Structure 1
Amino acid sequence: MCDYSFYETTNSGVTKIPVQESIGTVLAHDITEIRPGEFKGRAFKKGHMIKEEDICHLRRLGKDNLFVLSIAEDEMHEDDAAYELANALMGDGVMIQDEPQEGKIQIIATRDGLLKINKDALLEFNMLGDVMCATLHNNTIVRKGQIVAGTRIIPLIVKKKIVQDAVVIAEKAGKIIHVNEIRKPSVGVVITGNEVYYGRIKDAFAPVIATKIDAIGGDVVGVYYAPDDESFIESRLRELMEAGADLLITTGGMSVDPDDVTRFAIRNMGAKDIIYGSAALPGAMFLVAYLDIDSQYSIPIMGIPACGMYARTTIFDLILPRVLAGERIGRKELAELGHGGLCMNCEVCKYPVCPFGKGE
């Protein structure tokens, strides 16, 4: 065995060896090959023993020197550390996509659902240095197999203490990355307003709601029309519950005019946690409430203001997936939408591939 003690050694325990003298040594890191327009990937894998026939290939890749890795007792190789980080970051609904490449691991969704990121813990994690994790936006709807995050070690060798600190942060947070299942709702809809009920104008709400509910795999169990009458609206909502609705949606009657009484009908049903008004445009006069059936089960109620008829994307699109993923929306959740909650009304709407609702 050759004595490499006289070759250049870095502070991290990496010894540089001329490639022509590397036959019989074992690579301590991956070597990437790029052929423009043809291939980009791993040419030599960590752990590969260099053979005589590899030398020409390595020279073509520009490798005049290779590195033999000497890992101290208090250090870890990037790949081993990346596994520890990924396992600490991952909660329910996600998994590692493949083995590490150059210290990087990608994390994918194991089911369709709503991506939840603990942003405070993620910031603390990334503040450590030498470790990192990048994710999609919190509250993004994702599909099974979709990449939702990536984590890696930045140096080739990392101190075990940093990895341990990162693991503690993630574990203390109850993991940082989750994909929560979005349930398929049975929806009851009450469309309010004298002008619609008495046929003075044609309803535009029902098809909009039906399209959005169908897109998430839900069913509309019934649609009722109601005048601006609290008792009438309340009766229709109760009938929809009896028909099996586990999500109630009301439209119209959400402004401050005297005859806008929809929210009062919801209150009269005994709904709790009624929040009227959100920090998002369109959708400032949105309402969310919960009708507690028992200590374990509540029926969400969502009140959509008039903007839901003509705006392609509103507060309803932001909150619906979160409600169906089991999140109980309150004043704080609606207030947090203010940062990023202004729709830009693009000529061609690209939501959800846009910043609307992604700043909180």
Structure 2
Amino acid sequence: MKKVPVEEAVGMVLGHDMTQIIPGEFKGVRFKKGHIIKEEDISVLKSMGKNHIYSFELNEGQCHEDEAAIRIAKTVQGDGIELDGPNEGKVSLIAKQSGLLKVNKSGLAAINSCDELILATLHNNTVVKEGQVLAGTRINPLIIEEEKIKKVEEVGKEFANGVLNLRLFQNLHVGILITGSEVYSGRIEDKFAPVLKEKVNKLNNKVLEVRYAPDDPEKIKEEILGLIEAGAELIITGGGMSVDPDDVTPSGIRKTGAKIETYGAPVLPGSMFMLAYLDEVPILGVPACGMYNDTTVLDLVLPRVLTGEEVKRKDIIDLAHGGLCLKCDVCSHPICPFGKA
């Protein structure tokens, strides 16, 4: 590369995007790669703090920042993800549809261990919308050795399932069972089912049916089995999860013959959460906190289950790091530390 004063650069072709920053007003590309510098551009370049430009030609074995960023992005690009750019040397990875971002953290670390480049992502297991930026990548210099990009591509091949993937929400039939004799008898109004239905609907799924059961393990078992017989592919129970003698939902779940992955989660609120599987049907036992807290353990587990992921005990244990909700006056989840590790 050759450093050329802007006064001598008229007629030259820019080899990279040039960014203009006007504090409080604008930050973006002022001159795109390939722009032929004109006389009137000189004053603009100087106002941008650019008294020199780089004039260069790629030598054999070198790779321009735009091509390099595209190749890195393609290396980590998985299902449900499209590319945008390059823009100012950066390529963004975008969600094609709403879903759950899965980041292989070992793969991410391996990519960023390569020289002269970066890959930054959202957190693993972030719920995202169509068109949302999931990650961005670029190299730090304008030109990088071809061998360094080839190394990145080889590293990417070591992760068979990809470094970044977008898992789509499945259209599961969700059955809800609200337990508690006081609700079952009509003594008090049920306010739990509407909360659970809203959380399911927000993740592009619908509730098949809502049922009720008294504080009787046998009745709870019967209603769970009845929901499954009616076509439910996921069961969410609400209430009756504590150690009080009248809270018998865990006993009812056990009576179905379901395999218990965990009873208890290192998450607050939601420590009395239960995760079980009856054959291939997940059963989520949600404690009463799910009714009156904006965000609980359910918000960390439900999106994963609705993508078809088989959540295990270890996955629940891993929620401990970041599992303490700050209980902000205005809840901004998922744009907060809750559930992030």
Q: Report the TM-score, using the length of structure 1 for normalisation.
A: 0.87
Of 222, 225, 231, the residue aligned with 2:218 is: 231
CA RMSD of aligned residues (A): 2.1
Identical pairs, percent: 50
Question: In structure 1, how many angstroms separate the alpha carbons of the residues matched to 2:296 and 2:265?
Answer: 11
**Pairing 1:220–2:207 present:** yes
* Residue equivalent to 2:3: 16
What TM-score comes out, normalization by structure 2 length? 0.92
- For the 8 Å contact 1:75–1:159, the answer to whether it is kept is yes
Q: Which residue of 1 aligns with 2:293?
A: 311
Q: Secondary structure at the match of 2:87?
A: coil
- Work out whether residues 261 and 313 of structure 2, in 8 Å CA contact, stay in contact via their aligned partners in 1: no
Matches within 5 A, 1:1-360: 14-36=1-23, 38-52=25-39, 54-97=41-84, 99-173=85-159, 174-292=161-279, 298-359=280-341
**Cα pair distance change 1:164/1:211, threshold 3 Å:** same
Instruction: Provide, for residues 316-352 of structure 1, a one-character-per-residue CA deviation record: whole Å limited to 9, x for no partner.
Output: 1111111001111111110111111001112222222
Q: Deviation at 1:109?
A: 0.5
Alpha-carbon distance in 2 for matches of 1:224, 1:200: 16
1:38 shift after superposition: 5.0
- Offset, 1:177: 1.4
Distance 1:38 1:270, change over 3 A: same
Compute the displacement of 1:256 (Å): 2.8
Q: Deviations over 1:157-176 (max 9, x none)?
A: 11222222222222322321
Between the two proteins, the alignment pairs up a number of residues equal to: 340
Distance 2:182 2:167 in 1: 40
Deviations along 1:291-323, one digit per CA (max 9) or x if unpaired, are 22xxxxx22111001211221211011111110
Structure 1 contact 273–330 (Cα < 8 Å) conserved: no
Deviates more, 1:135-144 or 1:165-174: 165-174
Q: Which amino acid aligns with 2:219?
A: F
Distance in 2, Cα, partners of 1:63 & 1:353:
37
> What CA distance in whole angstroms lies between the structure 2 residues aligned with 1:15 and 1:82?
23
- Report the alpha carbon displacement of residue 81 of structure 1 after superposing the two structures with TM: 0.5
Give, in whole Å, the separation in 1 of the partners of 2:329 and 2:22: 40
> Could you say what secondary structure the match of 1:100 adopts?
strand
Contact 2:240–2:248 (CA<8 Å) still a contact in 1?
yes
For 1:348, the aligned partner's letter is V
Structure 2 residue aligned with 1:9: none
Equivalent AA in structure 2 for residue 88 of structure 1: T
Structure-1 separation of matches of 2:262 and 2:25: 56
**Secondary structure, in 3 states, of the residue corresponding to 2:125?**
coil
Q: What do residues 166-193 of structure 1 show as CA deviations (whole Å, max 9, x unaligned)? A: 2222232232111110123322122222
Please give the secondary structure, in 2, of the residue aligned with 1:340: coil
Give structure 2 stretches of 5+ with no counterpart: none
- Contact 1:78/1:102 (<8 A) preserved: no
Distance 1:179 1:261 in 2: 38
Contact 2:264 2:272 in 1 (8 A): yes
